[in-house]
Amino acid sequence: MQWYMVWGCFTEHRIGLIHRVPQEVKVNAEEYIKILTDALLPSLELFSNAHLAIFMQDNAPCHKTKAVSYWFTEMNIKVFEDWPRQSPNLNPIENLWEYVNKNLTNYNIYNIEQLWLAVKDVCQNISQETTRKLINSMPNRLHEVIKCRSGNTKY
């Protein structure tokens, strides 16, 4: 079975578009810009007050290239720049993916296409209450990471 990576975004009000990246695609700066163009830009059109949004990413190496920084500047998208690399305790989208994974158990999935359809369905049905809780958890996340000296937290 072929696997895929899924890229997604959300605000406290709603889920944005999700984007499937085939396994054979290496996500370098060029590919990441394609994902952002295909999924983030249309998502921003869906979000109310998108002009106030600050984009948060996990700072994987392809996220920190000059080409990607230039793309964000050209698109006039604010990015939280000083985010620690690979910091799942501080990244609420990790909890969102956990929510998606838990809800996939409600589906009969026998192939990769059924998995993709199930992921899309789960994402389309995530409530505003869920996204709001994740965004509002940020002060507590920061407090927990400081308290645990960057170790594991409940998040």
With H, G, I as helix, E, B as strand and everything else as coil, classify residue 132: helix
Alpha carbon distance 150, 53 (integer Å): 26
Evaluate if residue 2 carries a pLDDT over 70: no
Least confident of 48-57, 77-86, 106-115: 77-86
- Six-digit token string for 131: 């996204």
* CATH code for the structural domain at 4-147: 3.30.420.10
Q: What is the model's pTM?
A: 0.85
User: Given this model, what pLDDT does residue 107 score?
Assistant: 96
Evaluate if residue 3 carries a pLDDT over 70: no
Pairing of strands 78-79, 54-55: parallel
User: Which residue has better confidence, 118 or 24?
Assistant: 118
- Six-digit token string for 150: 């960057």
Evaluate if residue 86 carries a pLDDT over 80: no
